[in-house]
Amino acid sequence: MKFKSLQVLLAFMALTFFSCEEDAVNNDDCNLESRICTEEFRLILLEITTPQGEPVVLDDFYTFLDSRKKFEFDLDDFQLGSGTYPVITDAELEELNREGTTFIFVGEKDGKNLVEHQMVIGHDCCHVQLIEGDNKIVIEE
């Protein structure tokens, strides 16, 4: 009887140990202190053109995170060409769910919203990644 109880106890302890170990590995997937990433700085860009292929120059643009938080970027920081705009960068990585977070890019021209484009952006623990949505759109001005 004692032998069977000991076997059950050992089996339970082994199962508990392996379960905890698996959880620890999953929890550490994006541990900021232990991750090893490249030093490159990535961003998700949106290219906006007219049907004729001309770049659309916006007066202002920003990105909303699920309509709760607003991110604004200065084009001078990125040295981008006309018609290409940052949506989100690695600097905002902690704001994202790994599996994806919905963002709305808003572009204004002449005091009105010209663009409202939805994208789902996630990350690989190191860099932002476009999961869903187009990174090039064509609009009528």
Give residue 63's pLDDT.
95
pLDDT (mean) for 68-79:
81
Going by C-alpha positions, the residue among 86, 88, 84 that lies closest to residue 102 is 88
Beta bridge partners of residue 64, listed in sequence order: 70, 104
Phi-psi region of 56 (alpha: psi -120 to 50; beta: other; left: phi over 0): beta
pLDDT, average across residues 36-51 = 92
Residue 12 pLDDT more than 70? Answer: no
For 24, the token pair is: 């620890």
Spell out the domain ranges in the chain.
Answer: 1-34, 43-138
Question: Per-residue confidence at 81, pLDDT binned at 50, 70, 90?
Answer: confident
70 Cβ neighbours under 8 A, 6+ residues apart: 62, 63, 64
Report whether pLDDT(24) > 80. no
User: E strands of the chain, at which residues?
Assistant: 43-49, 60-65, 69-71, 84-89, 101-109, 112-123, 128-132, 136-138
More confident residue, 117 or 93: 117
Q: Indicate whether 19 pLDDT > 50.
A: no
pLDDT score recorded for residue 25: 29
Global pTM value: 0.73
If we measure between CA atoms, which residue out of 92, 91, 111 comes closest to residue 103?
92
How much is the pLDDT for 104?
95
Task: Output 101 or 141, whichever has higher pLDDT.
Answer: 101
Kindly report the average pLDDT of the chain as a whole number: 79
What is the distance of C-alpha 128 from the center of its chain?
A: 4
Q: In the predicted model, is pLDDT for residue 78 greater than 50?
A: yes
Is a pLDDT exceeding 90 seen at residue 3? Answer: no
